[in-house]
């Protein structure tokens, strides 16, 4: 059997760096959101950044062979990836600092990549044991 490594350490690092850039891109809109008349504008732009990040990482995971609706850890994968993105997308015009000030995107990507790496490690260990010759 072949070793399975859907998310390597370097890919995980790169994904976390991109997630941190998405979270950092929201900081100016967090500051703009303090101004009463601009808070709606900042909420819309911030939500668009989050939506683009969600689509980017969904595609990246799918291209890496990570399926969200198959395997043993469906609920964990959907919770780790989807729940933080949902909190980030909540349209709270005057409370935007609660969602945009917290790195939900980075946390989501870190939790999901760590789970996938752990799944691959368990898969590889299981297949190595079953591939050993029986004496």
pLDDT mean across residues, the chain: 86
**Can you tell me the distance from the alpha carbon of 18 to that of 134, in angstroms, rounded to the nearest whole number?**
46
Report the number of distinct structural domains present in the chain.
Answer: 1
pLDDT at 133: 67
Domain of 24? 9-123
Asked if residue 74 is part of any domain, the answer here is yes
Instruction: Please give the average per-residue pLDDT across 60-74, as a whole number.
Output: 86
Q: Do the domain assignments include residue 130?
A: no
- Band (pLDDT 50/70/90 cuts) for residue 61 is very high
Is residue 133 in some structural domain?
no
23 inside domain: yes
Per-residue pLDDT band at 57 (split at 50, 70, 90): very high
Is residue 116 predicted with pLDDT exceeding 90?
yes
Give the whole-number percent of the chain exceeding pLDDT 70.
Answer: 89
CA-to-CA distance for 82 and 38, rounded, in angstroms?
A: 28
In a domain, 4, yes or no: no
pLDDT of 134: 62
HEC sequence for the chain: CCCCCCCCHHHHHHHHHHHHHHHHHCHHHHHHCCCHHHHHHHHHHHHHHHHHHHHHHHHHHHHCCCCCCCCCCHHHHHHHHHHHHHHHHCCCCCCHHHHHCCCHHHHHHHHHHHHHHHHHHHHHHHHHHHHCCCC
Domain membership of residue 134 (yes or no) is no
**pLDDT tens digit sequence for 78-92:** 888 888 878 777 776
Q: What percent of the chain has pLDDT over 90?
A: 44
pLDDT at residue 95 tops 90: no
């Amino acid at each position: 059997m072949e070793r399975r490594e859907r998310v390597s350490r370097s890919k995980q690092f790169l994904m976390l760096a991109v997630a941190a850039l998405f979270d950092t891109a929201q900081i100016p809109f967090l500051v703009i959101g303090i101004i009463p008349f601009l808070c709606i504008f900042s909420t819309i732009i911030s939500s668009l950044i989050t939506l683009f990040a969600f689509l980017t990482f969904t595609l990246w995971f799918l291209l890496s062979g990570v399926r969200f609706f198959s395997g043993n850890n469906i609920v964990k994968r959907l919770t780790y990836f989807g729940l933080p993105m949902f909190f980030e997308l909540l349209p709270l015009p005057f409370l935007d600092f609660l969602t945009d000030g917290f790195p939900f995107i980075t946390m989501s990507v870190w939790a999901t990549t760590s789970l996938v790496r752990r799944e691959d490690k368990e898969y590889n260990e299981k297949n190595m044991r079953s591939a050993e010759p029986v004496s």
